[in-house]
Amino acid sequence: MAREQLNEYLEAVGAQIRWKRARRPLLRELSDHIADQAAAFEAEGQSPGEALAAAVAEMGEPEAVGRELDRLHRPRSCWRLALTVAVLLGVGLTLQLLACQVTGDSASDYYFRRQAVGLVLAVGVLVCLWFSDYTLLFRRRWVPTAAMAVLCLSFLLIPSTWLRDWWTLPVYYLLVYPVLLLPVPFAALLVTLRGKGPLAVLLCGIAALALPFTALLAPHLTAWLVSAGSMLVVLLTAVRLGWFRGKRRWNALAALGPALTAALGMGYQLARSDYAQMRMAAFWNPALDPFGYGWWYAHLRAGEVTYTSPDLLLAEVSQGLGRWVFWAAAAGIILLAALLLRRIFRLRSRTGKLTALAALCPLLFQAAIYWLYNLGWWPSGALSLPFLSYGVTFLLVDAALAGVLLSVFRMDALVRDAVAASARPVSLPEALNIPLGRGSLHIEYRKKA
């Protein structure tokens, strides 16, 4: 009978809560409260049935509670960000259409049609992830590791005969593009490691560098830098937010230690490589190598584009409209970054902050590198100008990252950080609960000699 009363109460509250995903955590908190109250009544001598019925009666009118909880827990769809992505996608497709009309060749027409199909698929990916539950990524400890293994090792699914030719398109796709998604399951892994010490931070710092190894096989140094850099930013943010046990300074050192060591090692290797020295010399001083790599940097820095490429969208538009295009693009990137970072650091849970940052960093880093590359000031290759430049796979990857970001914003009212085993709050023993009233407590201590 009492159990029925409890179910009726919870059903009546749940009926008022319109967001289905919110019902379960909210009703769980109320049922936990009823269980605590019933246990207290039982301790006072009531029978279990009476105690439960009395605990339900203590809760108050269910419809009023449900209405109030419903008002406080509505999904935040963040339409402005979705609209911004839609506008960028639209502008990107329009630029492809203009290129198609200007050149009038069959290749441009083919690329335009391909990009249009890619846009439809990208919108589908974005919407699916936007309305999905991103907490599935870290509800089970094995999920982040499995997701990272799939992203890192998907290229092994390709027939071994193809693997001999790294440059064949399917191999290249599976070596480069999945690493851009890696920061998201990496953030989920950090979420499951709350309360761990500096050793866990050090291992995560090593993992951030090692996981995108497939990009180096391609080889695509920029993809590796974007992925590893994003994961390091997420790891350092977790350290700063006090996610790990121990002093933040030491944890930050443990996070950055592997990256600093790798940077020194790479610097040493580059210093010994004649080819790398030649590339870097041409990058810093194109005039020294006017017919080799220097030619490329010199032309881009002068604002001259001698052939069309999906990697040179900004440079091409700038050649037609003027150099202001670069400054407008930079302002746009900085403004979007500032607005989104402000929104991210206002999220309620640190779990949400880390996941959102993991989705945002690869987008921002890609945009910044693309901008530098188009100005002739990036020594390696470019990836994409998210949602704008040509590339169907890039569209899908960037849409997936934006979808995760939107999902985090949408579910903010529901997601809570899990308490670490060692960080669980400890109730003060009754014996120490000193009723001081208006008096004062004097504590004397002596400094150790």
Partner 1 sequence: MAKSDGRGAPGGTGMLLLALLERRDMYGYEMVEALRAQSREIFHLKAGTLYPLLHTLEAQGWVTSSDGTVNGRTRRTYSITREGREALAGQRAEWYAYADAVRGVLEGGDCCGA
Task: Using CB under 8 A, list all residues that contact partner 1.
Answer: 26, 28-30, 32-37, 40, 58-62, 64-65, 68-69, 72-73, 346, 348-349, 413, 416-419, 424-425, 427-428
d(CA 393, CA 212): 17
Shortest separation between residue 272's beta carbon and partner 1, angstroms? 50
Closer to partner 1 by Cβ: residue 3 or 348: 348
Shortest distance (Å) from residue 37 CB to partner 1: 6
CB atoms within 10 A of CB 108: 18
Q: How far is the CB of 418 from partner 1 (least distance, A)?
A: 5
Minimum Å distance from CB 26 to partner 1?
8
Q: Among residues 65 and 236, whose Cβ is nearest to partner 1? A: 65
- Which of these, 329, 368, 350, 133, lies nearest to 230 by C-alpha position? 368
The number of C-alpha atoms within 13 Å of 76 and in the hemisphere containing its C-beta is 18
CA R_g for the chain: 28
CA angle centred on 436, ends 432 and 437, rounded to 5°: 145
CB of 185 to partner 1, least distance (A): 21
The distance of closest approach from Cβ of residue 17 to partner 1 in the complex, given in angstroms and rounded to an integer, is: 12
For partner 1, the closer CB: 58 or 304? 58
Q: Read off the DSSP letter of residue 139.
A: S
CB 205 within 8 A of CB 257: yes
Query: What are the φ and ψ backbone dihedral angles of 226, each rounded to 5 degrees?
Result: -65, -45
Our CB check for partner 1 shows the closer of 20 and 447 to be 20
- What b/e readout covers 119-144, taking b as 16+ CB neighbours within 10 angstroms? beebbebbeebbebebbebbeeeebb
